[in-house]
Structure 1
Amino acid sequence: MARQWTTIVIGAGGSQAQAMLRGIARAGATEGWLAIDRAWRPQTRAATEEMGFAVQELNPLEQPETLHRLLETTHLVVNMAGPYYKTGFAILDAAIETRTDYLDICDDADITLPMLERDARAKQAGISALIGMGSSPGTTNILIRSAVDHLGPVDDVDIYWTVDVADLTEAAIRHFWHCFNLVDADGTIHEVTGWDGLERRQVEFPAPVGPQTVVRLAHPEPLTVPRFLPVKRASNFGGLNPEEALVTAWALAHIADEQRSNGELTDPAASLFRHYRERRVGAPRIGSGMIIDVHTAGSGLRFAAGSDGGMDDSTGIPAAAGALLMLDGKINRQGAFAPEVVKPADFFEVLRRVSTGGGGLSLFRLEGGAPTERLRIRDLVAGEIDQREVA
């Protein structure tokens, strides 16, 4: 049966989905795309139509039959409707059953491994399912691969990030709480620990962010990086700034822990955190930062970024690049897989088509755990950095 659409985006009215659609529009690739949301805001719908996308109001997650019929009309479905621990299975399984390629920005560690376990079924269906193609995971995984492609096998990957509390959407608030439920490599999920049980680190992020407290959190990269790359261990430390926001978020996550309360306290806790954030309107911004160390015994490479920008573009634009790579046949692997399989050169080439330009990401050689010589990411991706033995 001929398929009507090139790509259908579910949850297209969300802020990160809108950033993705703006990226597709910048690339001039809107033809054949259908944007679906369960309740369009008039201004958002008008902006989406103005960019050149077909638009429909529908909640296919409420009716499996409707979802199946919808996916039978498209080559690729982009699932932007989180949280993925609630929506991921429904759309991925429907994509497998309808033989439709799939992409999402899943950042929930507890659902990542079960989604990747659909690999055999996806292969049997002859489809590609790219799980977690946002900023982190997404761009982080591809950067890590570019470093490993240069360095060879390494012992450790350490990811550190911090987000300005003003940038948290409702969905991001719930995801952040979910990150306090640590997930082991075998999929075991832990209850939210007490404050003294948190593993904390103080990290110096690039300007304008500066020193921030981060804590070990659950995220997909520690699960997928050792699975798809020659890396022994990977860790993820994240936080909110200012530090009082991190403490507030942890306290509410601890109180409303779904492992203990079965989700009964989640909505009231979300309301309390939203009230806290609204009381901070007008407070000075700190910004967002990220550091990725790829190393053996402190020798390797470091990626570092600091920005006063928001999260929407940093997540939505990589998703746009991933979708175009799939449509262009540059990701031709079948099965369910993480972004580590994406070739860095292909990703960064398409990223230039969908991005606004600029970006504050820097690359350094790492020696003794400290950054030294500054390098160019384009040279790393092109394989033009001199090789040095990793201690």
Structure 2
Amino acid sequence: MKAVIVGGAGRVGTRIAQELSRHPHVEVRIADRIPPKDPSLAYVEVDLAEVTTLDAAMRGADVVVNTVGPFDRWGTVVLDTAIANGVNYVDVCDDPAPTAELLDRDDAARAAGVRAVVGLGMSPGLTNLLAVVATRQLGSVDLLATFWGDPGEGKSPAAAERMAASMASAFEEGRAAFQHLIIQASAEVPIWRDGERARCRAWKEAYRVTTSSGATALFRLIGHPEPATLPRAVDVRECINVGTIDAGADRLMLPVLDQVNRGEIDVSAALTLLAAQLREKPQVLATPRVGPALSVFGGAAATGERDGRRSGVVVLPGGPVDGSMSLETARPAAVGVLNIHSAELGVHAPEAAFDAEDFLKWFSDTYWDGVPGFIVDEAGPDAIVRVES
């Protein structure tokens, strides 16, 4: 198999290249403006503004993996070129607006015999498939949520100081992931509510996920593709995505996000302001512990009815997820590449491209020594509850 990784010299692209290179039948080629740090990898220079260079990079490939953001600018450029060349496609898009544009290429991809999977990372990606498993445990689903991140509740004052210093440095550096977070968290985002598409201001609503053992974590509403794609595949009354960077920091961000929303400050100023507040008052991160920590990086929770009774489940990955965003994004993408010919023709979100339980088994066979690919916790009606609005 010949795999071209567009943006393969970047953080996520590098991880995907490493994961795919572990498989001797996969030939990896990096397509980027700059060469990869690993000189053993084949490299071709591309400029996405010059589609001819991208077209040349894809020739002879079996699958292209797109890691280049922003996806609202480059996503359809790479997918359209893949379709034109009859090359299968996987990406890690986590933005709902470009996801919709990419899915609109479905007819063209089918006509070209192309299989394309959009948003195949950790969230979206693995969380979508865990969410499908969650819905299969209930007769009817009132609320389905995908979640990601570690709220870090119950930190000691010393741990809060260390975390605040680290987070402040990341904000000051203006990392792309945090810029994207500020943009998404300060805007109205798509959700599925009362059985139809809706929009809601991000970060205002907080939800607590709790397992049957009392392990718990606090998350906030954020814009992701899952609420836009999952209701196409499963019958739910409400579908949301929730996340966290830290329970204390999440709350600290609220007034700053309001300023961004009103146009009073831009994203760069917001990150600078948040960094200053974290350095001035690091103890804001020393939030109280509500119960044992739900120490997983992502999963799904659903509540509804089963056999005429209120019920709920939390579905977690079957093996370890270490919390490295780039690694946990890369691994589902790599598994999707390895199994791309099992996907449906056309352009699909992960839950429509693959059977959820099949994919999670492939994932476990690749990374978790074949343990069950998911854990279903019978958490009951309080599996996920809104606690703040």
Taking structure 1 as the reference length, the TM-score comes to 0.73
Q: In structure 1, the residue corresponding to 2:52 is in which secondary structure?
A: helix
The answer on 1:91 being equivalent to 2:78 is yes
Deviations 1:119-143 (A, max 9, x none): 1222222211100000111111111
Identity of aligned residues (%): 25
Alignment of 1:170-249 (within 5 A): 170-180=175-185, 181=187, 182-184=189-191, 198-203=204-209, 212-243=217-248, 245-249=249-253
What is the Cα deviation at residue 340 of structure 1? 0.5
Equivalent-residue separation in structure 2 for 1:330 and 1:121 (angstroms): 19
Equivalent-residue separation in structure 2 for 1:75 and 1:310 (angstroms): 28
Equivalent-residue separation in structure 1 for 2:342 and 2:240 (angstroms): 29
Deviations 1:289-320 (A, max 9, x none): 43421332452431247966322222111110
Partner of 2:158: none
Partner of 1:28: 24
What is the Cα deviation at residue 28 of structure 1? 3.3
Q: In structure 1, the residue corresponding to 2:83 is in which secondary structure?
A: helix
Instruction: Name structure 1 gaps, 5 residues minimum.
Output: 372-391
Partner of 1:337: 348
Partner of 1:145: 132
Partner of 1:369: 382
| Number of equivalenced pairs | 343
Partner of 1:69: 56
Deviations 1:153-196 (A, max 9, x none): 53431233334786878232122123222125688877x67x8x
Alignment of 1:1-391 (within 5 A): 6-31=2-27, 33-40=28-35, 45-46=37-38, 49-50=39-40, 53-56=41-44, 58-149=45-136, 151=138, 154-163=141-150, 170-180=175-185, 181=187, 182-184=189-191, 198-203=204-209, 212-243=217-248, 245-257=249-261, 265-270=266-271, 289-297=297-305, 298-304=310-316, 309-326=323-340, 329-331=341-343, 333-341=344-352, 342-352=354-364, 354-355=366-367, 362-370=375-383
What is the Cα deviation at residue 365 of structure 1? 1.7
Inter-CA distance 11–206: structure 2 relative to 1 (3 Å threshold): farther
Deviations 1:217-248 (A, max 9, x none): 111111111112233331122222141x2245
Equivalent-residue separation in structure 1 for 2:322 and 2:175 (angstroms): 20
- Tell me the amino acid that sits aligned with residue 301 of structure 1: V
Equivalent-residue separation in structure 2 for 1:225 and 1:265 (angstroms): 32
> Does the 8 A contact of 2:96 with 2:225 survive in 1?
yes
What is the Cα deviation at residue 250 of structure 1? 4.5
Inter-CA distance 349–238: structure 2 relative to 1 (3 Å threshold): closer
Equivalent-residue separation in structure 1 for 2:332 and 2:237 (angstroms): 26
Larger mean Cα displacement after TM superposition, 62-71 or 209-218? 209-218
Equivalent-residue separation in structure 2 for 1:270 and 1:59 (angstroms): 32
Q: In structure 2, the residue corresponding to 1:107 is in which secondary structure?
A: coil
Taking structure 2 as the reference length, the TM-score comes to 0.73
Q: In structure 1, the residue corresponding to 2:224 is in which secondary structure?
A: coil
What is the Cα deviation at residue 109 of structure 1? 1.5
What is the Cα deviation at residue 75 of structure 1? 2.2
> Does the 8 A contact of 2:130 with 2:316 survive in 1?
no
Partner of 1:376: none
- Tell me the amino acid that sits aligned with residue 21 of structure 2: A
Equivalent-residue separation in structure 1 for 2:372 and 2:323 (angstroms): 10
